[in-house]
Amino acid sequence: MRLGIDIGGTKTDAVAVDESGALAQRVRLATGFGHAAVVETAVTAVSRIGELTGLTPAGFQSIGVGVPGMVDTVSGHVAHAVNLGLERLELGGMLAGRLGVGVRVENDVKAAALGTYHLLRLSGTMAFLNLGTGMAAGIVVDGRLWRGSTGIAGEIGHIPVDPAGALCGCGQRGCLETVASGSGIARQWPTDDPLPVRAVFAAASDGDREAQAIKARLAAGIASAVRILVLTVDVGTVVIGGGLSHLGERLLGDVHEVLHDWERTSPFLASLDLPARVRLVPEGTPVAALGAALVGEN
Amino acid sequence: MRLGIDIGGTKTDAVAVDESGALAQRVRLATGFGHAAVVETAVTAVSRIGELTGLTPAGFQSIGVGVPGMVDTVSGHVAHAVNLGLERLELGGMLAGRLGVGVRVENDVKAAALGTYHLLRLSGTMAFLNLGTGMAAGIVVDGRLWRGSTGIAGEIGHIPVDPAGALCGCGQRGCLETVASGSGIARQWPTDDPLPVRAVFAAASDGDREAQAIKARLAAGIASAVRILVLTVDVGTVVIGGGLSHLGERLLGDVHEVLHDWERTSPFLASLDLPARVRLVPEGTPVAALGAALVGEN
């Protein structure tokens, strides 16, 4: 049995995965804020899964943790996990000290990519396109995470595609993330709604032109991300995940429409069959926790 | 001894590579135009290298051919090799019939990528950014070509980066290839000069504003290609090759200047250390023929 934990900005998922890769147990906790609380949340998650499975930490084949931010997978250090209130934390070492066993730490998008790849029983090459606060992709090749030479493979949210676009937090202009992410939507549509993208979709269907334009830019930005992933890595599948993916078929439909429009003017793009490569992550499965449990296999 | 052939639009290079991977023999021929002449050129190349090495076709450990266009590496079929006057040719089968031994066929940019990787004794992940008539990259991972799920990995010339850009031959607007390729330069600077890009550089240094703008867009387009290759695949090295690379340090200097400019406004980009990842392919080595000789190892 393997144990995987996904520490998110508000919720932490933990799962036990059996030998066949199937989900055996699952719990959800509120995530604490700040160094000590984040470590405590993970320790509690291990203990809760331990109660459900009857296993001590040492009884699991491996324990993996997915966490937002920059992760050094060798040292287990986490940096810039702003949502968790962490500037820098030696998460791997601290958890190992508390649990008495080694813990593997991985970036949450990469963990979700790995979990999705296994959940969908894919083969070949896949990108998990995470549309959360930001945009980033996790790339899996033949069942293994593709990290690249410095660990920044898949950071496509900061590829600029419009010199006249909005200024991005990264200092560039017109990045994909400025139109196709939670923060990009929130910047364009100031609202008290905790889910600005739902407010945008609602206003768009009520006929609001500005909301319709924001919605169109979102779909075009996602479609551009798909095109980039195919024309660089040539991924066979792009799975859309992250917070915005909860829009479900409404979002996927918009993206497919953009991709089909492109095919009408470009036989080259039509030959790539982009619409057939794109799908949504299945709702309701904690793919990042699942992936965190599997990180040990890589 | 391995034999590699690179069939270019006007010249064909052929090399013999010894067990250590070193260049043992080398010849250059004019390339014939059309189906029969292209096959004849390759047969002549094998025969000339055979004379120099004293080997019959069956005496080589492998024979590989690099050729422009769409290549099916399994069947040896070549399609859309416009520069060679080929709409469709069963090059692998025809050469095998003439030579009495199997021949591996590979796209010339991919072959050049492999040859460059070995020539420069690189490790990890590299992209060979070919700036010829068009723009495309060949990606090598741990010494092997990365083809992707459908063989179009690295076709970054058709990633649009400016909605207000020029219409591309592929039917899209603002593709990298429209500003950073031989055809892109020729479209913007009509001239009788057989090397329009040299004419542009000359006019730019004479103070021509339009030429300076074209030269600036070329450098920015190449820099954008580098940024895309790093933010997707995270290649450790980008080697600039192809016809435009003959501009040498003048071109590389322009690209480095753009990348350094970007770093001043984006700490994120500065953290990627893009300038240090970019270099020029060494002048004078037939890297595509060298790579074609090594394709058999992959």
Task: Indicate if the pLDDT at residue A263 is higher than 50.
Answer: yes
d(Cα A128, Cα A109) in Å, to the nearest integer?
8
- How sure is the predictor about A82, in pLDDT bands with cuts at 50, 70 and 90? confident
B82 compared with B142, residue with greater pLDDT: B142
Give me the percent of chain B exceeding a pLDDT of 90: 91
Q: How confident is the model over A108-132, as a mean pLDDT?
A: 97
Q: Which amino acid is at B44?
A: T
The HSE-up count of residue A29 (CA atoms within 13 Å, CB side) is 23
Task: Indicate if the pLDDT at residue B233 is higher than 70.
Answer: yes
- Predicted pLDDT at A83: 77
The shortest CB-CB distance from B163 to any of A147, A148, A162 is to A162
The residue whose two tokens read 């590829």 is A159
Among A72-86, B32-46, B213-227, the minimum mean pLDDT is found in A72-86
> Tens digits of per-residue pLDDT, A233-251?
999 999 999 999 999 999 9
Is there a contact between A204 and A212 (Cβ–Cβ < 8 Å)? yes
Mean pLDDT over each residue of chain B, to the nearest integer: 95
CB contact under 8 Å between A124 and B149, yes or no, is yes
CA distance B146 to chain A (A): 8
- How sure is the predictor about B169, in pLDDT bands with cuts at 50, 70 and 90? very high
d(Cα A16, Cα B292) in Å, to the nearest integer?
49
Task: Indicate if the pLDDT at residue B298 is higher than 60.
Answer: no
CA-to-CA separations, B59 to A173, B2, B31, B103, in angstroms, rounded: 57, 9, 25, 13
**Which parts of chain B are beta strand (E)?**
2-7, 11-17, 23-30, 62-67, 70-72, 77-81, 86-89, 104-107, 125-131, 135-141, 144-146, 237-241, 278-280
Q: How confident is the model over A43-66, as a mean pLDDT?
A: 96
- How sure is the predictor about A194, in pLDDT bands with cuts at 50, 70 and 90? confident
* Domains contained in chain B, CATH given: 2-113+285-297 (3.30.420.40), 122-280 (3.30.420.40)
What length is written for chain B?
298
- How sure is the predictor about B297, in pLDDT bands with cuts at 50, 70 and 90? low
- Predicted pLDDT at A296: 65
> Tens digits of per-residue pLDDT, A123-161?
999 999 999 999 999 999 999 999 999 999 999 999 999
Task: Indicate if the pLDDT at residue A298 is higher than 60.
Answer: no
CA distance A228 to chain B (A): 7
The shortest CB-CB distance from A235 to any of B149, B151, B154 is to B149
Residue A13 neighbours by CB distance under 10 Å: 23
Q: Which amino acid is at B229?
A: L
Task: Indicate if the pLDDT at residue A81 is higher than 90.
Answer: no
- Predicted pLDDT at A297: 57
Give me the percent of chain A exceeding a pLDDT of 70: 99
B145 contacts on A by Cβ (under 8 Å): none
The residue whose two tokens read 């070949």 is A124
d(Cα B5, Cα B84) in Å, to the nearest integer?
15
- Predicted pLDDT at B85: 82
* DSSP string over B86-101: EEEE-HHHHHHHHHSS
The shortest CB-CB distance from B156 to any of A158, A232, A235 is to A232
B288: which 2 tokens? Answer: 């595509």
- Asked if the ipTM is above 0.90, the reply is yes
What single DSSP character describes residue B279?
E
Task: Indicate if the pLDDT at residue A70 is higher than 70.
Answer: yes
Q: How confident is the model over A171-176, as a mean pLDDT?
A: 97
B117 contacts on A by Cβ (under 8 Å): none
> Tens digits of per-residue pLDDT, B7-50?
998 899 999 999 998 999 999 999 999 899 999 999 999 999 99
Report the 3 state secondary structure along A214-283: HHHHHHHHHHHHHHHHHHHCCCCEEEEECHHHHHCHHHHHHHHHHHHHHHHHCHHHHHHCHHHHEEECCC
- Predicted pLDDT at A86: 82
Q: How confident is the model over B161-178, as a mean pLDDT?
A: 96
Q: How confident is the model over B58-82, as a mean pLDDT?
A: 92
A127 compared with B69, residue with greater pLDDT: A127
> Tens digits of per-residue pLDDT, B121-143?
999 999 999 999 999 999 999 99
Residue whose C-alpha is closest to residue A73's, from A20, A133, A147: A147
The shortest CB-CB distance from A172 to any of B150, B171, B269 is to B269
What length is written for chain A?
298
Q: Which residues sit opposite B97 in a β-bridge?
A: none
- How sure is the predictor about A122, in pLDDT bands with cuts at 50, 70 and 90? very high
The angle subtended at Cα A77 by Cα A17 and Cα A64, nearest 5°, is 5
Q: How confident is the model over A161-180, as a mean pLDDT?
A: 96
d(Cα B7, Cα B22) in Å, to the nearest integer?
20
Which of B125, B161, B232 is the best substitution to test chain A (most A C-beta atoms within 10 A)?
A: B232
- How sure is the predictor about B83, in pLDDT bands with cuts at 50, 70 and 90? confident
CB contact under 8 Å between A234 and B262, yes or no, is no
CA distance A171 to chain B (A): 4
CA distance B265 to chain A (A): 6
Helix (H, G, I), strand (E, B) or coil at B121: coil
